Amino acid sequence: MCKDDSVSQVQVQRLYILIIYGRWLIVGLLWISIGFLSIWSLRGEIALWIKHFTWVSVRYALAYNKLATLGLSLCVGTTTAVLVWQSRHILWGISPEEQKRLEQQVRQINHQGQTHPLWKWVIPDNSN
């Protein structure tokens, strides 16, 4: 029974790491797509900021470029959310509810078998 617990914890740890990578992948894709386009649309204002930076110029640039502001807000908000989520787990560990949810997901992956998209990353291959 102890061996099953350790294998289960290894699988839970692998799933948790995949979730972390997935969240950071989403953040990276947001910055590469929406963040880049938002910054590109502010290129004129950024050139002005480089010459004469004031917080008022930043405020007005963001106020009059609502789509760029929305895009940058989405990128910054998502990045902040992932940083807070991961920092909370680093500082205080995974909560019992989160641990239970991860174990349930591992059981679901085990139940579905090799047809589950995360099977080959979560379940170790014992045939080697």
Distance CA 68, CA 81 (A): 20
Q: Give the pLDDT confidence score for residue 1 in this predicted structure.
A: 44
Task: Write the CB contacts of 78 (distance below 8 Å, at least 6 apart in sequence).
Answer: 26, 27, 30
Torsion 56-61-67-72 (CA) sign: negative
Q: Give the pLDDT confidence score for residue 113 in this predicted structure.
A: 86
Q: Give the pLDDT confidence score for residue 7 in this predicted structure.
A: 60
Grouped pLDDT means (10 residues each) for the chain, 128 residues:
64 94 97 97 93 92 94 98 96 93 92 88 69
Global pTM value:
0.83
Q: Give the pLDDT confidence score for residue 6 in this predicted structure.
A: 57
Domain ranges of the chain: 2-122
Q: Give the pLDDT confidence score for residue 123 in this predicted structure.
A: 85
